[in-house]
Amino acid sequence: MQNCFVIVGLVMNLVGAILVAWADARFINSVEVSLLAIELNFAKLLRVLRRGGVQEMVQDMDEYRDNVARKGVLWKRLGWIVMIVGYALQIVAIALAKSGASDAAKS
């Protein structure tokens, strides 16, 4: 029984780590794209102001990037939760192994 908990815990830790890494990569990509869009908007605004214009040509936040960022955070949280459950299963397996060893020593 303890071996089952250890194996399931290790697999959950691996899956959680993969989810966190994947979500982190997507989130970082989304942030980089957003920063690039802000930089391009700022460059457009500077060009307009240097020409003497007062017209602002600023682009709104892209819904796709916003969705990717929001989903990235959710996937990252899910990954951390899976990792925590995996560690908890390993702790349960250790506790069961110790209680089984102490029961065997008593008898």
- The residues spanned by each domain of the chain are 2-101
Mean pLDDT, rounded, of the chain: 80
Instruction: State mean pLDDT over 30-47.
Output: 78
- Residue 33 banded pLDDT, cuts 50, 70, 90: confident
pTM (predicted TM-score): 0.60
pLDDT at 104 over 80: no
- Identify the residue whose tokens are 């993969």: 18
pLDDT at 81 over 80: yes
Angle (CA) 23-88-92 rounded to 5° is 155
Instruction: State mean pLDDT over 42-63.
Output: 72
